[in-house]
Amino acid sequence: MRHLKIVGVLTLGACVALAGHAAAQPKGSGKSSITIVKIPAPAPTPTGATPKTAGTVSAKPVATVAGKPPTAGGSFAIKLAKEIGDATKPGFAAGEYVLEIESAGTPSGNLVGDALSAAFFITLTVDAAGKCTIRNNPAFSPPNCGGDMQPACALAEQAGKCSAQIYQVAGNLLAAGGLVANQPFAARFRLRANPDPANCKTGHLFIQGPPGVLAPANSTCRTGAVLGVGGVALGAQ
pLDDT at 159: 93
What is the structure's pLDDT at 218? 94
Question: How far apart are alpha carbons 31 and 58 in whole angstroms?
Answer: 7
The predicted structure's pLDDT at residue 55: 92
Which residues of the chain are under the pLDDT cut of 50? 1-28, 178-180, 236-237
What is this structure's pTM?
0.82
pLDDT of 48 reads 64
The 3-state secondary structure of the chain reads CHHHHHHHHHHHHHHHHHCCCHHHCCCCCCCEEEEEEECCCCCCCCCCCCCCCCEEEEEEECCCCCCCCCCCCEEEEEEECECCCCCCCCCECCEEEEEEEEECCCCCCCCCCCCCCEEEEEEEEECCCCCEEECCCHHHCCCCCCCCCCCCCCCCCCCCCCEEEHHHHHHHHCHHHCCCCCCCCCEEEEEEECCCHHHCCCCCEEECCCCCEEECCCCCCCCCCEEEEECCCCCCC
